Structure 1
């Protein structure tokens, strides 16, 4: 199966692959350096996407990132010399779903793991089913901290590759705590505007935990119902916070950002206050003429991971040109999720999900750095110890969540299009 054709087969079981143009003559035939402990069966992975809510806007690129990674793994010789099998992708459309039926399907197929990008509540309900089946779960979008409250529900089988709400709160909170009250703003204060959701409540609590012990304050919070944005703009602006965090979907944020812009204009048509605004993962795209010119002058968006490399962009656009140059959010994490599972299975010399799970943190924090699938698999087959630095940058896990990872900050031009994207590290150690 060629790389260009792979994108059209996301909804079916994928096993075969061919090399990518420009690489060596890689194949999925057994390698002479394969581990002596061969389970005799392929690595089987399920995938779960989001067909509604905030995650739905990134469904295409996430699914594509996974399928492209599978091609690269198979081109590098596969796991135990066998192609990786992807079970038919399950896209969640019912908010009440608990994935019990799909987990049964995965167990019947002998799946070791699943890569998920669904709603936080669905994932929380599904984790006991995954855990009962001994299936490791790697999430590329989950950030809420509540799912970690019940360790018995996850049983050490849930791993997340995206900076969590705790990491985002550290980033946003530190920006607010660094303010000194310039231009009449109240120093060390954060106004929080968010969709009312599990993730929205999680980020609120994490922000409180950052600013409160450091003599800061949280203004609000100002919650709105999903798809029904509303804001007491006058009350927010009267508080003169040193930072506003707007957390929600893109269309919801159009109304919120317009309200903040219009409510802050003086008699001369110019902004009265220059309050920095931070956006979250799901509302940091381009806004264009949906907002007045220069409406985003004080706004900084946030994206998961690092700025996509030219190699990643070329790979994605070669598979689907409709993505455009800005359509790669979470695709790097999705790519790395499949690669990390392949490396963990190769390291563990087994496809048993609970054993594969134990090796996931290790392949991200081992010996020699490996930045490509081929280099990493070759090193493992040779008995080496690696730490994989993938498409989404350096990630170190502790208790299943990143304690070191990257986020990208987005700035906007006068026409409200994306002007620049820069990456920086988030470190929660110590």
Structure 2
């Protein structure tokens, strides 16, 4: 196959990266200072974080408030978008909000008259996880259907199994949830993009937050894949830079079902706090840890396992545990629109990122006046920066069709891409589990990459 042209300058590797994090609420405090002594369980001293409510400013997902001018261009083929999102596997809990975000974006675009004179088509396929070959089969089906762009996967590990296949076919791959830092330097011919920030940012936020909450030592239980080890590296660097010490770090592999050895070693190191960098393996790991006397307030989770555990654990099992999810808090008006798409939604993780991915692909298609993947990719950076601000497809496409440059800012926050296709600034939300083992928003932190 003839090699595809580079559609945008890409970074061969990350040579320098600085992150500034601004706390949008008061710092965590603790009435006592943790020490390095204690009995054979992790210590609760100093892990006391207040949970002020954070509402943030509302960003309307409503339309432009007027008729959208028709496109002056009609293409022979409609824009066709595929989704490669999890409905089975270890991240299946992330599938419903992501799929709802995609479907809401498609609905609003088509209600506004579609793209380049035609309704946008969407085809959904399951990504599964890295324990299966579902992603490859789904990718084959989507490429065979002639999609111009694929939204997904959610898992960075799954993306690594299909990214060459997708981008090698000249199709845009746009993930709403991939966070592995190594994907920034992937040889993707300029066709891989994401609205979720690199784990360098989430790790920085989590590491700093645990230190701010009073922890002087931490232990880590880590999934041994691109997501887990990359995020753990960033957490470690941030926590150590804040003066803390990582006293234990235990790995497990995808597909493992026994975690007693890892838990025993981490708890034996007597850390002030324990970070679980896992997917749904947390369902097995949490009871092992709390069964050894570790208090739930000493546990810190991440986006891969921040889920609704109300039907998994006894009430109170996770009360006081905290965790991080990249992205801003979903606003009430956006939640209402998502619930109209999927009334069963209970979680909104990465819904905004998925919605934004659809809008950005559609707007880049309008800007390119083409449904070819390479042409769409060449316009994605342009529609996200240096232009008139807009935050919905109708308002943005009206400006584009009027000959204006646009700067799309969406439900996931400000969207400005680097040459590597990564967001250069993003929010990370901090959440706390309640007695019923569901979680609520605590605060947002904003960082620049």
For the residue of structure 2 that corresponds to 1:54, the secondary structure is coil
Once the two structures are superposed, residues 279-326 of structure 1 have per-residue CA deviations (whole angstroms, 9 ceiling, x without a partner) of 111322343475465443441122342222222222222233222xx2
Is residue 49–residue 91 contact of structure 1 (8 Å, CA) maintained in 2? Answer: yes
Q: Call closer, same or farther: CA 1:413–1:47 in 2, change over 3 Å.
A: closer
Is residue 171–residue 373 contact of structure 2 (8 Å, CA) maintained in 1? Answer: yes
322, 338, 349: which is aligned to 2:369? Answer: 349
The correspondence of residues 26-425 of structure 1 with structure 2, limited to 5 A, is 31-32=69-70, 34-35=71-72, 39-86=75-122, 88-93=123-128, 95=131, 97=133, 106=142, 109-149=145-185, 151-152=186-187, 154-178=188-212, 187=216, 189-212=217-240, 216-225=244-253, 226=255, 228-231=257-260, 232-233=262-263, 235-250=265-280, 252-264=281-293, 276-288=298-310, 290-291=312-313, 294-323=316-345, 326-398=346-418, 399-418=420-439, 420-425=440-445
Question: TM-score, with normalisation over the residues of structure 1?
Answer: 0.78
For residues 113 and 212 of structure 1, the distance between their equivalents in structure 2, rounded to whole angstroms, comes to 40
Deviation at 1:238, TM superposition (A): 4.5
For residues 109 and 416 of structure 1, the distance between their equivalents in structure 2, rounded to whole angstroms, comes to 41
Is residue 223–residue 252 contact of structure 2 (8 Å, CA) maintained in 1? Answer: yes
Q: Does 208-217 or 154-163 show the bigger shift?
A: 208-217
Q: How many residues align?
A: 385
- Could you tell me which runs of 5 or more consecutive residues in structure 1 were left unpaired when the two chains were aligned: 1-19, 266-270
For residues 94 and 212 of structure 2, the distance between their equivalents in structure 1, rounded to whole angstroms, comes to 33
Deviation at 1:42, TM superposition (A): 2.3
Which residue matches 2:447?
427
For residues 317 and 66 of structure 2, the distance between their equivalents in structure 1, rounded to whole angstroms, comes to 51
For residues 243 and 385 of structure 2, the distance between their equivalents in structure 1, rounded to whole angstroms, comes to 35
Q: Call closer, same or farther: CA 1:218–1:354 in 2, change over 3 Å.
A: farther
Once the two structures are superposed, residues 315-359 of structure 1 have per-residue CA deviations (whole angstroms, 9 ceiling, x without a partner) of 222233222xx2322222211111110011112222221121122
Deviation at 1:219, TM superposition (A): 3.0
Higher helix share: 1
Which residue matches 1:7?
none
Q: Call closer, same or farther: CA 1:74–1:100 in 2, change over 3 Å.
A: same
Deviation at 1:170, TM superposition (A): 0.9
Larger RCO of the pair (alpha carbons < 8 Å, separation 6+) = 2
Is residue 193–residue 223 contact of structure 1 (8 Å, CA) maintained in 2? Answer: yes
For the residue of structure 1 that corresponds to 2:83, the secondary structure is strand
Q: Call closer, same or farther: CA 1:122–1:287 in 2, change over 3 Å.
A: closer
Deviation at 1:112, TM superposition (A): 2.0
Report the RMSD for the aligned CA atoms in angstroms. 3.2
Once the two structures are superposed, residues 205-237 of structure 1 have per-residue CA deviations (whole angstroms, 9 ceiling, x without a partner) of 333443456654333222234462524545434
For residues 23 and 384 of structure 1, the distance between their equivalents in structure 2, rounded to whole angstroms, comes to 15
Which residue matches 2:54?
none
For the residue of structure 1 that corresponds to 2:381, the secondary structure is helix
Deviation at 1:100, TM superposition (A): 5.9
Once the two structures are superposed, residues 346-379 of structure 1 have per-residue CA deviations (whole angstroms, 9 ceiling, x without a partner) of 1222222112112222322232221222111111
Deviation at 1:26, TM superposition (A): 6.0
Q: Call closer, same or farther: CA 1:21–1:168 in 2, change over 3 Å.
A: closer
Deviation at 1:157, TM superposition (A): 1.1
Deviation at 1:167, TM superposition (A): 1.5
Is residue 208–residue 242 contact of structure 2 (8 Å, CA) maintained in 1? Answer: no
